[in-house]
Amino acid sequence: MKIDLLTQVGYKIAQDENQFCFGIDAVLLADFASKKIRSNSKVIDLCSGNGIIALLVCGSTKAQTVTALEIQKEACGLAEESVKLNSLQERLNIVNGDLKNAASLFDKYSFDAVVCNPPYMKASHGRESAVNAKAIARHEILCTLKDVVKASDYLLKPSGSFFMIHRPERLGEIFVELDRHNLEASELRMVQPSAEAAPTMVLIHAKKNIKPNLKVDVPLVVYKEKGVYTDEVKSIYLPKTGNGTK
């Protein structure tokens, strides 16, 4: 286990390099969601892993509580360690459970916002889908896009917000599943590695039981040159003030 510092919020995070350590996608999603999460909201982070997004949301918003739901026991252990390191026992709750069993874990309409950085790739029968922590984080081995959206529909209050990062090539499926579960995409932002490159990720904000009115933002460009973040991405990593309780 190693302890890293989340400079944005001043929190420490416990990670295990043998498991799946967080990447920039988690950071971008947490920033995207945190700007829209209202004070005193009850938030749940699905597919939480070691709790990176839940920690960033705690430190960047005035959410009343944040719940991190993760199926892998080892990852939950790391998240619990981070809760202790940052004295977040009163705000951040780690739940070891399967989102497909959301109805037995939580009351219906319990949350104002759902955040999820799910597995992007469909499971296959090749070597890449061998069941280990890294494969589970990347491939739809233990949950699918359908499972994530169905659980979010159950958990979200009317007019609640759903935030997700995914692959652009799966947008067709994403829109179908959102429509099937009373969620309407309200904002979409593509993420490009560089200004000249095609998008590799997409940030999505959907709301429950609202009329169609999709806003498409200008793309978020990660690098202005090789190895150098754009000013916008640099600002995402800067310390946040006046939001969280720390």
182-210 b/e with 16+ CB inside 10 Å = b? bbbbbbbbbbbeeeeeebebbbbbbbbee
Nearest of 47, 67, 51 to residue 110 by alpha carbon: 67
pLDDT at 242: 46
The pLDDT assigned to 20 comes to: 75
Q: Are 239 and 11 in contact, with CB atoms under 8 Å apart?
A: no
The pLDDT of 26-50, averaged and rounded, is: 97
pLDDT cut 90: percent of the chain above it: 83
Per DSSP bridges, beta strands 156-166 and 111-116 are parallel
Domain 24-237 sits in CATH at: 3.40.50.150
Structure confidence at residue 21 (pLDDT): 85
Question: What mean pLDDT is predicted for residues 52-66?
Answer: 98
Q: Are 182 and 208 in contact (CB under 8 A)?
A: yes
Which residues neighbour 16 within 8 Å (Cβ) at sequence distance 6 or greater? 1, 2, 50, 74, 78
Rounded distance between C-alpha atoms, residue 67 and residue 105, angstroms: 12
- Per-residue pLDDT tens digits for 106-135: 999 999 999 999 987 676 644 444 556 655
In the predicted model, what is the mean pLDDT of the chain?
91
Domain borders along the chain are 24-237
Within 8 A by CB and 6+ apart from 34, the residues are: 56, 57, 60, 61, 243
* Alpha carbon distances (Å) from 185 to 155, 160, 178, 209, 212: 17, 12, 7, 10, 7
The DSSP output letter for 11 is E
**pLDDT of 69 over the 60 cut:** yes
* CA–CA distance, 241 with 245 (Å, rounded to integer): 10
pLDDT band at residue 246 using 50, 70 and 90 as cut-offs = very low
* Interval 141-170 mean pLDDT: 94
Question: Structure pTM?
Answer: 0.91
